[in-house]
Amino acid sequence: METWKEMEDCRICHRDCGVNRNQGELGFCRVPAEVILARAALHHWEEPCISGERGSGTVFFSGCNMGCVYCQNHEIALGVYGKKVSVKRLSEIFLELQHKGAHNINLVTPSHYVPQIREAILASKGLGLTIPIVYNTSSYEKVETLKMLEGLVDIYLPDFKYFDENLGLRYSRTKEYRTIALEALKEMVRQTGKPVFDEEGMLLKGTIIRHLSLPGSLGDSKEILMLLKDTFGNSVYFSIMNQYTPMEVLRKYPELQRKLTEEEYEELVSFAQLLGIRKAFIQEGETQDESFIPPFNGEGL
């Protein structure tokens, strides 16, 4: 079995669990040191400059260091589903996705596997991987862990979930989410610089900050946009999302048992315009649909 010095006393994210994942101990992310994947396939539901015509080569990692109560991928976030793969196999999967025509390699929920991912990227680049690497994260990241990816990740696709720390505590059991995520975003933007597109409009380099607006949290969403505009100006892209989907498991959270209304979303988008945010993706039409959640059936592993 592959072992990793960072996993002996795992503190690679802000949960600081201190467990020995090499020996199968589980921390908050609920997965050992072995990489566990749920799916690796072309995915068409990201921002247009990520998905393009052919799709984004999306690799879904099992386990998660956030565990948001409303997660759409909860079956893999709990780490109970997936297939163990070696780092060598992970690098082969990247190359297979490139061969299938993927515009990029899109690592979804990768934070708890950074050392393994780093090795896999290096190996696949040595074997001919040329498409951009996208790191798709909740932003509950340590800056020193992100530094391990410098020069290897081309595009960061971070969420910014909460301004009010109490929301982070309630929905994701995080402490100081806002402070931690903001420092992580600064590091991501430092690494990628300003967005660079190819002639077809595909993103080659840069950071797109996503915010999923939750029902009942419109004020929090506005605070987030103000904070991010003040911090980054127009040097990043924003993606303002309305696709929150209520789920059966949310009975304990009555405020989350409805979708965001069209009026609420329009108000948030107008607010972004008022703030002077010019580079933003918005969602149109009915996006609150389970068809956006791919089947976690082990495809591509």
Closer Cβ to ligand SF4, 62 or 191, answer by number? 62
Exposure of 126 by Cβ count < 10 A (0-12 exposed, 13-18 middle, 19+ buried)? Answer: exposed
29 binds ligand SF4 (CB under 6 A): yes
Instruction: Tell me which of 1, 3, 16, 198 binds ligand SF4, using CB under 6 A.
Output: 16
Give the distance from CA 118 to its chain's centroid: 16
| CA–CA distance, 113 with 59 (Å, rounded to integer) | 12
Question: Which parts of 157-258 fold into alpha helices (H)?
Answer: 165-172, 177-192, 218-232
Least distance to ligand SF4, CB of residue 183, Å:
16
Least distance to ligand SF4, CB of residue 279, Å:
32
Name the 3-class secondary structure at 257. coil
- The residue whose two tokens read 């600064």 is 186
Q: Residue number with the shortest CB distance to ligand SF4?
A: 27
71 binds ligand SF4 (CB under 6 A): no
Among the residue ranges 7-15, 233-241, 246-254, 272-280, the one whose residues contact ligand SF4 (CB under 6 A): 7-15
Q: Give the pair of three-digit tokens for residue 200.
A: 């077809």
Among the residue ranges 26-34, 93-101, 167-175, 288-296, the one whose residues contact ligand SF4 (CB under 6 A): 26-34
| CA–CA distance, 193 with 187 (Å, rounded to integer) | 10
Q: Give the pair of three-digit tokens for residue 163.
A: 């301004």
Question: Between residue 92 and residue 121, which ones bind ligand SF4 under the rule CB under 6 A?
Answer: 112
Vertex 206: Cα angle to 99 and 134 (nearest 5):
35
Closest C-alpha among 190, 236, 212 to residue 288: 212
C-beta separation of 144 from 95 below 8 A: no
The response to whether 71 counts as a known ligand-binding position is: yes
The response to whether 17 counts as a known ligand-binding position is: no
Instruction: Tell me which of 28, 94, 135, 244 binds ligand SF4, using CB under 6 A.
Output: 28
Closer Cβ to ligand SF4, 50 or 66, answer by number? 66
17 binds ligand SF4 (CB under 6 A): yes
Residues in binding site: 64, 68, 71
Residues in binding site for [4Fe-4S] cluster: 64, 68, 71
For ligand SF4, the binding residues (CB under 6 A) are: 10-13, 15-17, 19, 27-29, 65, 112
